[in-house]
Amino acid sequence: MEGIKQKSRKKRQKRRMQRHKRSMLAVSSVIVMLMVVVSVNSVTLRAQEQEYQTQISDLETQIEEEKTRTEEIDDLEEYVGTDEYVEDVAKDKLGLIHENEIIFRAE
């Protein structure tokens, strides 16, 4: 009788060990899958970060160009408000001259 009990006990222990091994294998495979997914996402995020860094540097360059353009526009605005600008426009577009100027024209 005790031999039968021991055999059945050993069978139960063997089944438990097999279940334990299966569950450990399942848990290990889930962990490995998670590691693969995290690794792939990490690579994707790094590529995306690099793309964003390139975009940031391009935008900073554009900002600098726009600042330069703004300064040029401000300088032009100041020039437009001067008498010198009015005289230049009068000479170029209207053909006006000062009283003491002499115009030489090519024949």
Per-residue pLDDT, 1 = 59
Kindly report the number of other CB atoms within 10 A of residue 87's CB atom: 13
Q: 107 with 101: CB under 8 angstroms?
A: no
CA distance 82 to 90: 13
3-state helix, strand, coil in the chain (%, to 5): 85, 0, 15
- pLDDT tens figures, 50-87: 999 999 999 999 999 999 999 999 999 998 888 888 88
Cα–Cα distance measured from residue 55 to residue 62, given in angstroms and rounded to the nearest whole number: 11
88: left (phi over 0), alpha (psi -120 to 50) or beta: alpha
pLDDT at 58: 97
Residue keyed to tokens 């590529």: 47
pLDDT band with cut points at 50, 70 and 90 for residue 100: confident
* Domain boundaries, given as residue ranges, for the chain: 2-94
| pLDDT per position as a tens digit, 13-56 | 888 888 899 999 999 999 999 999 999 999 999 999 999 999 99
Looking at residue 102, its pLDDT comes to: 74
Determine contact, residues 92/86, Cβ cutoff 8 Å. no
